[in-house]
Amino acid sequence: MIKENHTAFSDFILLGYSGIPELPGLLFLVFLLIYVGIVIGNGLIIYITVTDYALHTPMYFFLKNLSFLEICYTSVTLPKMLVGFVTEIRSISFIGCAAQIYFLLILGGTECFLLTAMAYDRYVAICNPLRYKLIMNNQLCFGLVTGSLTVNMSVHAGQIYLVFTLPFCGSREINHLFCDIPPLLELACADTYMNKVIVFVAIAFFLIIPFILILASYVKIISTILKMSSREGRKKVFSTCSSHLTVVTLFYGSATIVYLSPRSKERVDVNKLLSLFYTILIPVFNPIIYSLRNTEVKVALRKLFCRKM
């Protein structure tokens, strides 16, 4: 029996939560509210960091770019999911699937590097304050952001090419909420060992190494904080780092479990929930975390609302 080989003119079916017919209406409403919250919350962060001169510092330059990334990141997957909930059309074209994965990888990898740059910024500000303005100049900040984006665009273009030149036979059903490499490789009717190795190398480069660098930065930061004689000084310094540390823990924790844990039928639903966590819920939490834990952001928001009133 000859299996069907899908070409660039065929499409895939995103199963999502199609096995539970009662959910689509409720999920549409919940995800729509989440998407609106992501756009408004991160849009506010972008607006105040652009308009408030007090926030024209490297820390908030990175935060502004992080908020922009979050809006783009969720826009790659959420609109397609919302359409699927309303119309029950879950098909996605071959090219559309490739584009979705490519932009997810670019934006996700750039976010990993950006979180690392934010940790380095905090390290310099706390451990080397006298040279902070000299080290964290505009050229370095801009270079870190553009460099992160350039590296991700180049590396992931090759990874996408290797995945989508594979022959896909038989089933077209991707048992996931959106296109992603691990569930897509399960549909390939060829040896995917090299692809899995490349995925692991990419995870090490874009996920594990940045996390180690962030961890090293915070070891130095915590060591410096503990040496401070003033209790108020320790509290103030820790409050400026706690919001970033919270976001890092949530993002890296869920992404690491999804991409490094062994895939099995029993873990499919767990992986779906975790993928929702780092692609949708964390972009919602980011503005809240930075607003609640950051005094300067709260002051800027108060000034904005007072002007509007």
Span 128-151, pLDDT tens digits: 988 999 999 999 999 999 999 999
Residue 102 has pLDDT above 90, yes or no: yes
Please state, in angstroms and rounded to a whole number, the distance separating the CA atoms of residues 242 and 10: 47
Q: For residue 12, how many other CB atoms are within 10 A of its CB?
A: 23
- Which residues touch 234 (CB under 8 Å, ≥6 apart)? 225, 226, 228
What pLDDT sits at residue 15? 79
> pLDDT per residue over 232-276, tens digit each?
777 777 777 777 888 888 888 777 777 766 665 656 667 777 777
CA dist 121 and 135 (Å) reads: 9
The DSSP output letter for 17 is: T
Residue-wise pLDDT for 155-203, tens only, equals: 999 999 999 988 887 778 888 888 888 888 888 888 888 988 998 898 8
* φ, ψ at 299 (rounded to 5°): -65, -45
| Residue 186, C-beta contacts closer than 8 angstroms, at least 6 positions apart | 175, 263
What's the CATH number of domain 7-308, 1.20.1070.10, 3.40.640.10, 3.30.379.10, 3.40.50.1370? 1.20.1070.10
How far apart are alpha carbons 226 and 294 in whole angstroms?
Answer: 20
C-alpha 94/C-alpha 255 separation (Å) is: 25
- Domain range summary for the chain, segments of one domain joined by +: 7-308
| Residue 36, both tokens | 């609106």
- How much is the average pLDDT of 224-228? 82
Cβ within 8 Å of residue 152, ≥6 positions away: 105, 106, 109, 110, 113, 206
- Whether the model pTM is above 0.75: yes
